Amino acid sequence: MLTVAVLISGTGSNLRALLDAASAPDFPARIVAVGADRQADGFEHAEEFGIPTFLVPYSRFGSREEWGAELDEQLRVWNPDLVVLSGLMRLLPAGLVEAWAPRIINTHPAYLPEFPGAHGVRDALAAGVTETGASVIVVDTGVDTGPILAQERIPVQPGDTEHTLHDRVKPVERRLLIDVVHRIATGELDLDNLAH
Ligand code: GAR
């Protein structure tokens, strides 16, 4: 059984979907802890499922590195096989990424390498593209530059706002994330031996 820790910053709707999927008896992974860099609404989902939570407030540390060191310590308490960033809106310090690589993955609301960063949906709209997408990647020390594990195109519709487009992207992200976690858990996807 693959053990997973999930890191969030916000509403945690993708986390919720993963919790739902992982509660099925035949799902080969289980979530052991949920952490956040701020008091995130998504903690409610973890609590509902009886999953422990931990908070490492970014604002309480003098530097990204110090924050990352505490986050690393908290993660080590649970020692998960996989760390999933699901809407964590902070860049992790290189030391933390290197400590967990390649067992750390991220969901992103765009078709990477298009529109990396904190505003993937907004940036796609601003660029006037007719399609964007959703991606699941391995985290490396760049901004959304790691190996792509899964991605899918999503059309932009006339009149889309950041909100309406993001609402259509998220269900795709969820499906991709659940599938990637499943494939890692069964060994079908081997993070240590990714084809380049
Ligand atoms: C998701 O769309 C996720 O891909 C995005 O934040 C959203 C979190 O939603 N993450 C990033 O943009 C990271 N660069 P949720 O809190 O409802 O799951």
Structural domains of the chain in order of their starting residue, each with its CATH number: 2-193 (3.40.50.170)
Burial environment of residue 38 by CB neighbours within 10 A (0 to 12, 13 to 18, 19 or more): middle
Question: Which atom of ligand 1 is found nearest the CA of 107?
Answer: 4
Tokens matching residue 101: 């690589």
Q: How big is the chain by its Cα radius of gyration, in Å?
A: 16
Q: How close is the Cα of 187 to the center of ligand 1, in Å?
A: 26
| Model confidence, pTM | 0.97
Amino acid identity of residue 141, one-letter, is T
> What tens digit of pLDDT does each residue of 83-130 get?
999 999 999 999 999 999 999 999 999 999 999 999 999 999 999 999
**Separation between Cα atoms, residue 126 and residue 185, nearest integer Å:** 37
Nearest-CA residue for atom 17 of ligand 1: 13
Residue with tokens 């310090």: 93
Question: Which atom of ligand 1 is found nearest the CA of 16?
Answer: 18
Q: How close is the Cα of 108 to the center of ligand 1, in Å?
A: 6
Tokens matching residue 64: 């990204």
**Looking at the predicted structure, is the pLDDT value of residue 61 above 80?**
yes
